[in-house]
Structure 1
Amino acid sequence: MKNVKYGKCTRCGKTHDAVPDLTICDCGGILDIEYDYDYIKTQLTKEKLADRRDMTMWRYRELLPIEESTENTPLRVGNSPLYEEPRLAKALGLGRLWVKDDGQNPTSSLKDRASAMAVAKAKEAGAQVIACSSTGNAASSLAGNAAAAGLKTYIFVPSRAPKGKVAQLMTFGATVISVEGSYEETFELSKQAIDKWGWYNRNAAINPYLSEGKKTVSLEIMEQLGWQVPDYVALSVGDGCTFAGVWKGLKDLYAIGFIDRLPRLISTQAEGCCPLNRAITDNKPWEPMEENTLADSIAVGVPRNADKALAAIRESNGIVVNVSDEEIMAAQKLLGRTCGVFGEPAGVTGTAGVKKLCDQGVLGKNDTVVSIVTGNGLKDVANAIKACGEPITIPSDMERLLKEFDQRGIVVE
């Protein structure tokens, strides 16, 4: 790969050859992929990018750690819509607000970007089997992308994973191991199994290429905005891989001169599981937490990408905000009713954070914000119904309908 220099440890600084099955450093630190930006500048321009017909994440090949001969993965990953939402911006008191609906990816989450990268690198490595642990979305995205590419998958999920996500896994033909325990226990079992059988490792905490796939969401956002940088980019945070990836993509664009400044990031975590935000607030090393939130995709008490995520918060002069499950459910309704965007609880947590910061006066009418919705609401319909309520259920009787409307205060216009 002419565009890639090496993988560099975020802990000790040691460099490693960027081979397809690259994992962690000898010291246990997570690696970061380093690029030759001078070379990339000779290969990629805004004009060249604008002329491309490939509207998937692979349109940014010069900024991705793949061989020139590596084929695009089969599913259409990327090119999710970025909606400007003036009504919601006005309701919140913001200058301008955009919502990036990454639940429109093939398996309905941003994690498709990482899984597509994992499939591409597994193909380069000659692997036939890929495995991972996941709270749900990474699992279903891997199973779907691997199935389309003809690869076998072994997936480890905590038993609390929503049925919608497990249904996807089973439909895609994955061998699913539901672990009776926390995500940390699930991760440890997957690690042992991967080590024993030598499967290609899709775990974001181990495989440094995955955040490179996730960063394509920020490359897309900037291109969709005509390279005009917003003041803030907000998203939910679990293990930290997505958050770190978003920051990496923005830094890449800045390094090659596609954008002239960097936005501040907003790290939103659930109050019941916020080890990274707590570390920033308390200005001390992160400590494990219990996983007490209905937002299962970000219920990660032992974040595996803590170093990269914390660095991204600090480097971007970011803001950390924690939200309650009630605030998350309120944001789910707010996005649905003002924007027509249906996000799962973890997917809308970033927007819940934006609303809370507006209510606190931290953000206001002079600010421009992009909020990333990381997963579709159909992933977890039980909590969607819990947030929004049950429908009116009556016999086919007009009198009963009128009575129900009257009792519920529904005024028909």
Structure 2
Amino acid sequence: MGYPLELKCVLCGKTFKLEEVKYTCPFCGQDGTLDVLYDYDEVAQSFSRERLKKDSSPSLWRYAPLLPVINSEHIPSLSVGWTPLYMSKKVAETYGVSAVFIKDDGRNPTGSLKDRASAVGVAKALDFGYTTIACASTGNAASSLSGFAAVSGLPSFIFVPEKAPEAKITQLLVYGATVVLVEGDYSDAFDLAAAAIDRYGWYNRSCAINPYLVEGKKTCALEIAEQLGWQVPDRIFISVGDGCCIGGLYKGFWDLLNIGFIDRIPKIVGVQAEHAAPIYEAFKAGSERVLFGPVQTVADSISVGAPKNWAKALRAVRKSNGDMVVVSDEEILSAIPELARSTGVFGEPAGAAAFAGFRKMAMAGMLESSESVAVVVTGNGLKDISNARKAAGAPLSAPPDIDAFEEILNAHL
């Protein structure tokens, strides 16, 4: 399996042996999220682009040497990763760039990019000998964990805000998770989950503090690079809530750079909702910290006012010479049908937010015509049918009479 070597704090830079620290830096506290570092010399000797070319397994486990799982028997049986990367000439021509690629991570088994993290999280829980796993989530991480825990025989406890979309809550219950609807927002759910995990000794699946979970998310970057023949795009757009997905993208490209698979890291652009943008505000202000506050957006998956993985998010944008952009709820909703009708990919609001951010920057003349662009759609549109219906418009209604239908059709046209 992999060659994990040590853990390193994003804030203070201190390194720790794997057995020394469970979640975050003991000196920097919860803000001190950790990177998993590998023996990159060992990885480079046993792992190659040629080896990958011969590997026909369509899952993220093709990258096992760059993942932290120790025992292959702990890998969940539910297939995850190797999602499609579509090239859209239509979108590229419409917005004046050289190429556009859409990474459809809504094709993962429970419908979101979070499946990548849950697959690794469940395997690590078993590596460490835990018998129960838990997390707080705005929805997708929760449904993801419940699915992977179910196939691995691990009981799961999920804490979600009481206003989480019904489809996501239904997924949790179908998979057999114990679901706790927490009065309040994501921060309230996170705090209650952390207290329960501490009291009952469960394994914490939260990407916000568990260093191993981001390692699962980074495989999205590994796939994009491999699917493009190791010629990474100039710029990549992804929506941002807690900061874990964008942090994972950067870590994936950084790892590939370290073993010589790619020669540069693409500019990473984080997209936040207009009224849920604490990381954007910190980035634009040049701040080293993120200020927390209330949020409101239709994109529930990125509705996070107190992001826990803000340090990795800011690093991803700054170290890649990237950028951040905010989009309104109206821009997010209008992006859902445009994305679907131009590329065939149906994204939930948070997934479509990345496309809305790309569109906004392109229309503002902030992208070069020579640039190649990738957009990561983090979740499937069926996760939030209510907002999709708002964006898509109403169907026609007709009696079972062809003449009446013709009148209605002519009026519609």
TM-score, with structure 2 as normaliser: 0.97
Three-state SS of the structure 1 residue aligned to 2:270 is strand
- Give the conservation status (yes or no) of the 8 Å contact 1:129–1:152: yes
> Which residue identity lines up with residue 201 of structure 1 in the other structure?
N
| Alignment partner of 2:309 out of 305, 310, 321 | 305
Where 1:293 maps in the other structure, the secondary structure is coil
Could you tell me how far apart the structure 2 residues matched to 1:2 and 1:374 are? 26
User: How much does 1:70 deviate?
Assistant: 4.3
The residue aligned with 2:206 is: 203
2:270, 2:317 within 8 Å by CA — same for their partners in 1? yes
1:123-149 Cα deviation digits (max 9, x unpaired): 111112100000000000000011011
Alignment match of 2:175 (pick from 172, 195, 205): 172
Q: Which residue of 2 aligns with 1:340?
A: 344
CA distance in 1, matches of 2:224, 2:99: 15
Whole-Å separation in 2 of the counterparts to 1:116 and 1:384 = 28
| Residue 367 of structure 1: aligned partner | 371
1:325 and 2:332 are equivalent in the alignment: no
Pairing 1:228–2:231 present? yes
- CA offset at residue 52 of structure 1? 1.3
Contact 1:217 1:246 in 2 (8 A): yes
- Encode CA deviations 1:142-185: one digit per residue, 9 max, x unaligned: 00011011111000000111011001000000000001101111
Tell me if 1:98 matches 2:101. yes
Mapped pair 1:6 → 2:6: yes
The answer to whether 1:403 aligns with 2:407 is yes
Which residue number corresponds to residue 54 of structure 1? 57
User: One-letter code of the match for 1:329?
Assistant: L
Structure 2 counterparts to residues 60-75 of structure 1, below 5 A: 60-67=63-70, 69-75=72-78
In the TM superposition, what is the alpha-carbon distance from 1:21 to its structure 2 partner?
Answer: 8.0
Tell me which amino acid in the other structure corresponds to 1:218. A
Amino acid at match of 2:11: R
| 2:280 aligned partner | 277
The structure-2 alpha-carbon separation of the partners of 1:70 and 1:355, relative to structure 1 and needing over 3 Å to count, comes to: same
Deviations 1:50-86 (A, max 9, x none): 1113221010011111215444321110010000010
Name which of structure 1's ranges 244-253 and 47-56 shifts more when overlaid on structure 2.
47-56
**Per-residue Cα deviation, 1:340-370 (whole angstroms, up to 9, x for no partner):** 1100000111111000000100014211000
Aligned match of 1:127: 130
CA contact (8 A) 2:81 2:108 kept: yes
Tell me by how many angstroms 1:18 deviates.
1.8
Say which SS state the counterpart of residue 37 (structure 2) adopts.
Answer: strand
Alignment of 1:131-146 (within 5 A): 131-146=134-149
Runs of 4+ with deviation above 3 angstroms: 68-71
For 1:119 and 1:371, the matched residues in 2 are separated by: 28
**Of the candidates 351, 375, 381, which is equivalent to residue 377 of structure 1?**
381
Moved more, 243-252 or 280-289: 280-289
Partner of 1:24: 24
**1:76-113 deviation digits (Å, cap 9, x = unpaired):** 10010000010111111121000000000000000000
Paired residue for 1:262, among 255, 260, 265? 265
Partner of 2:117: 114
Do the aligned residues in 1 keep the contact of 2:348 with 2:379 (CA within 8 Å)? yes
CA distance in 1, matches of 2:376, 2:408: 38
257-266 vs 283-292, which deviates more?
283-292
Give, as a single letter, the amino acid of the residue that structure 2 aligns with 1:100. Answer: K
Cα distance, 1:17 vs structure 2: 2.3
Moved more, 320-329 or 16-25: 16-25
Q: Judge conservation of contact 1:75–1:145 (CA < 8 Å) in 2.
A: yes
Alignment partners' CA distance in 2, 1:193 and 1:271: 32
- Cα distance, 1:22 vs structure 2: 2.1
Distance in structure 2 (CA, Å) of the matches to 1:291 and 1:98 = 30
* Unmatched 5+ stretches in structure 1: none
* Partners of 1:21 and 1:121 within 8 A in 2: no
Aligned partner of 2:194 in structure 1 is 191
Aligned position for 2:395: 391
- Whole-angstrom CA distance in 1 between matches of 2:141 and 2:133: 12
Amino acid in structure 2 at the alignment position of 1:316: S
One-letter amino acid matched to 1:11: L
Please give the alpha-carbon distance, in whole angstroms, between the structure 1 residues aligned to 2:196 and 2:221.
33
In structure 1, C-alpha distance between the alignment counterparts of 2:386 and 2:404, rounded to whole Å:
27
What residue is the counterpart of 1:242 in the other structure?
A: 245
Task: Give secondary structure in 2 for the equivalent of 1:156.
Answer: strand
Of the candidates 148, 151, 163, which is equivalent to residue 154 of structure 2?
Answer: 151
Q: Please give the alpha-carbon distance, in whole angstroms, between the structure 2 residues aligned to 1:53 and 1:178.
A: 41
Of 120-129 and 96-105, the range deviating more from structure 2: 120-129
Residues 1:69 and 1:148: Cα distance change in structure 2 (over 3 Å):
closer
Percent sequence identity over matched residues? 49
Amino acid corresponding to residue 105 of structure 1 in structure 2: N
Residue 205 of structure 1 deviates from its aligned partner by 1.4
Aligned counterparts of 1:397 and 1:377: Cα–Cα separation in 2: 33
Name the aligned partner's letter for residue 372 of structure 2: T
11-20 or 176-185, which deviates more = 11-20
Corresponding letter in the other structure for 1:232: R
- The DSSP-based 3-state class of the residue aligned with 2:147 is helix
Q: Whole-Å Cα distance in 2 between the matches of residues 133 and 197 of structure 1?
A: 15
Check conservation: 2:136, 2:189, Cα contact below 8 A: yes
Name the TM-score, length of structure 1 as normaliser: 0.97
Match of 2:221 among 218, 221, 224: 218
Q: Which residue of 2 aligns with 1:351?
A: 355
